Amino acid sequence: MQRTFNYTGRSRITREEVAITVIDQAPEPPAFDVQFGFLKRFPPESRLYVEAYHKATLQRFDYGTVGNLKPPAHRVLDSVDLTGSVLFRVRVVDESGSIGRLLGAAEAIRPEGDDDDQNRDSLMVLKSGNLESLPWRVEMDSADGKPILWVNNRIPDAISRAKTDPTFFALVMPAALHQVLTHMVVHDDLVEDGEEEGAKRNWITMAESLHSPLPDSRDRADLEDWVDSVVQGFCQRMEITDALVSRMEERAS
């Protein structure tokens, strides 16, 4: 049974004090391990929970008490939506009373290696995962506002191919770019919202460098025409069709 928590007086646990490693077990759901660097700050009888979540799904794991850790034998992410970025949270709870009192918490923890240096500096994060029958998809609702391009992990060397294969690049990237920009400028208002707003502004700046400034209009047709022109400019600058034709001619010869 999940308890009600009293949040008064809780201590913040930093993300640097929790190290989570996701273990790929494809085609089975992934598992995870976790290391805690904050335990000495809390009473040994406090209960410790780790939660994995994405969108409306959540999976909770009971790690026993701070003074007597008992990692659950089953640490497989088989009850959470794996079609996007799975984040984690940690909760330290005093359950001595009738209502559990939350002593400490860490939110939105990314697994180790989930956001490497290349992804951190890029406008779009590239990841592989279980997409069932989909070869790829774009996720727009990540924690830091950056779009994520997911590639099906059933594709051999999925990440490497996504970065280097001209055929993949030609057939996927223009469509992904179109989807992201349409979401940002046609379906979504550019509101001030911290990291998410910063990610949007970076995308708009990039898009404007490919074509022209974003129209000062909320007319849907004007914005859709602008997005189409930006994608056309992207394909022209990257010589995408030329590269695709050359690759096809190589394979045909």
Which band of pLDDT confidence, cut at 50, 70 and 90, is reported for residue 58? very high
Judge if 83 and 162 occupy the same domain.
no
Contact 149, 124 (CB under 8 A): yes
- The DSSP symbol for 190 reads -
Q: Using alpha carbons, list the distances in angstroms from residue 69 to 19, 46, 48, 72, 144.
A: 16, 10, 8, 9, 31
Question: Which residue, among 35, 34, 41, 36, has the nearest Cα to 11 in the 3D structure?
Answer: 41
- Structurally, the chain folds into a number of domains equal to 2
Average pLDDT for residues 114-132, to the nearest whole number?
A: 70
The enclosing H or E element of 70 equals none
Residue with tokens 């497989």: 76
| Residues 156 and 206 both lie in one domain | yes
Query: Do 121 and 165 belong to one domain?
Result: yes
Assess whether 94 and 38 both reside in one domain.
yes
Inter-residue contact 22 to 114 (CB < 8 Å): yes
Task: Give residue-wise pLDDT tens across range 153-199.
Answer: 888 878 878 877 888 889 999 999 999 999 999 886 544 444 557 78
Interatomic CA distance for residues 65 and 137, integer angstroms: 40
Instruction: Verify that 103 and 43 share a domain, yes or no.
Output: yes
The residue among 75, 109, 143 that closes a domain is 109
Question: Among 46, 80, 109, where does a domain finish?
Answer: 109
Confidence of residue 47 (pLDDT cuts 50, 70, 90): very high
Give start and end residues of each alpha helix (H) in the chain.
117-121, 158-164, 166-181, 194-210, 220-238, 240-252
Same domain, 100 and 193: no
Q: Of 26-30, 148-152, 232-236, which range is least confident?
A: 26-30
- Partners of 57 in the β-ladder: 54
Question: In sequence order, what are the residues at sequence separation of 6 or more whose Cβ sits closer than 8 angstroms to the Cβ of residue 140?
Answer: 147, 180, 183
Q: pLDDT tens, 4-28? A: 444 445 678 988 899 999 888 877 8
> What domain range includes position 234?
117-252
129 plus 238 within the same structural domain? yes
Angle at which helix 166-181 crosses helix 240-252, to 10 degrees, equals 150
Same domain for 105 and 126: no
User: Which pLDDT score is estimated for 52?
Assistant: 95
- Looking at the fold, whether 225 and 152 belong to one and the same domain comes out as yes
Counting every residue written for the chain, the total comes to 253
Q: Please tell me whether the overall predicted TM-score, pTM, comes out greater than 0.85 for this model.
A: no
DSSP per residue, 23-38? EEETTEEEEEEEEES-
Mark which of 63, 83, 109 sits at the end of a domain: 109
Tell me, yes or no, whether 58 and 130 share the same domain: no
Residues 236 and 166 in one domain: yes
pLDDT given at position 71: 95
Q: Clarify whether residues 77 and 192 are in a common domain.
A: no
